[in-house]
Amino acid sequence: MKDLQFKRHRRLRRTESMRSLVRETRLQKEDLIYPIFVVEGENIRNPVKSMPGVHHVSLDHLSEEMTELVQLGIRSVIVFGVPEEKDELGSEAYNEHGIVQRAIRHIKEAHPSLTVVADTCLCQYTDHGHCGIVRDGDIANDDSLELLAKTAVSQAEAGADIIAPSNMMDGFVAAIRQGLDEAGYSHIPVMSYAVKYASAYYGPFRDAAHSSPQFGDRRAYQMDPANRIEAIREAESDVMEGADFLIVKPALSYLDIMREVKDRFNLPLVAYNVSGEYSMVKAAAANGWVNEEEIVMEKLTSMKRAGADLIITYFAKDAARYLDQ
């Protein structure tokens, strides 16, 4: 073996302290945004069957839920409302006394230091379950924009720190930005679901948010999982329309898209580690097929390595506990 030439990469992997010294990507609690589902009613803390560890909580249980997060060191939440009443125009979405608006007020009063992100969409609030309003069996893009802007303003009024529109109508960032500015909320940033794929990974969420479309599907507005260049076009227009953060959703099957978006645009990038990605790990771990902690940390770290600055994840509490060990 004389004169054999090669590099000794293993020098940097010899001990844990050496590995830690050269680690390129670090997950921190500050990176995590925890999604919460708020329901009408009292004394409710119902487990979501398809998402072990996730609950529907009523307003009176919100404070204890937030206290737990704060104690764990989580600083941001994204709020989803599950209203009792749904109608054709999703009017509960922009009702100033709607479930999300009340939840935001509640959280900001009890824990002003938490950053509250409001998910801005209509699908939880429309009786047909689509993200926009329906005209002649079609999702009417431009008519939906006005309602979205109205929803965003009512959420900002309630105290939301960030508006996160998720409905994938064309022009939604421009409409919401203008709506916020005109209402005196030019200081409130927009975290746009810029690249959102029509994904099977959303299944358990729809169970949680009761938001399955009653007819058709969302492929006329969400993206085809096969497309990459289209993702750049989507992100580009949101940047032009004034987005302050870009979200790629789902995360795990779209790490390549994240990297590309991160390399092209100088905005904070957010990964949405969606319900299906969560439930698959929980199911496998419950069966003893995978080591949950190691899988969760590997997954979340891979999203950061792919370029995500922040991660919206149902694993936020678990990850915060692992990071404390």
- Output the six-digit token pair for 296: 């969760």
CB of 144 to Zn ion, least distance (A): 10
The residues pairing with 165 across neighbouring beta strands, listed in sequence order, are: 120
164 versus 319: smaller Cβ distance to Zn ion: 164
Among 51, 62, 131, 271, binds Zn ion (CB under 5 A): 131
7 is a catalytic site residue: no
Are 75 and 66 in contact by the 8 Å Cβ rule? The answer is no
**Shortest separation between residue 193's beta carbon and Zn ion, angstroms:** 9
- Please return the burial class of 139, using the count of CB atoms within 10 Å of its CB with bins 0-12, 13-18 and 19+: buried
For the CB of residue 86, give the shortest distance to Zn ion in the complex, in Å.
Answer: 13
The least CB distance from residue 130 to Zn ion, in Å, is 8
CA angle 36, 38, 39 (to 5 degrees): 150
- Binding part of the chain for Zn ion, among 9-17, 127-135, 199-207, 285-293 by CB under 5 A, reads 127-135
Instruction: Using the minimum distance from each CB to Zn ion, give the nearer residue, 81 or 306.
Output: 81
Query: For strand 55-58 and strand 45-47, is the pairing parallel, antiparallel, or unpaired?
Result: antiparallel
Options 196, 262, 282, 317, the catalytic residue: 196
- Closer of 69 and 131 to Zn ion (Cβ): 131
Q: How many CB atoms lie within 10 A of CB 291?
A: 12
| Residue 123 interacting with Zn ion (CB under 5 A) | yes
Task: Please indicate whether residue 196 is annotated as part of the active site.
Answer: yes
Burial of 159 (0-12, 13-18, 19+ CB in 10 A): middle
Report the catalytic residues: 196, 249
Residues that bind Zn ion (CB under 5 A): 121, 123, 131, 167
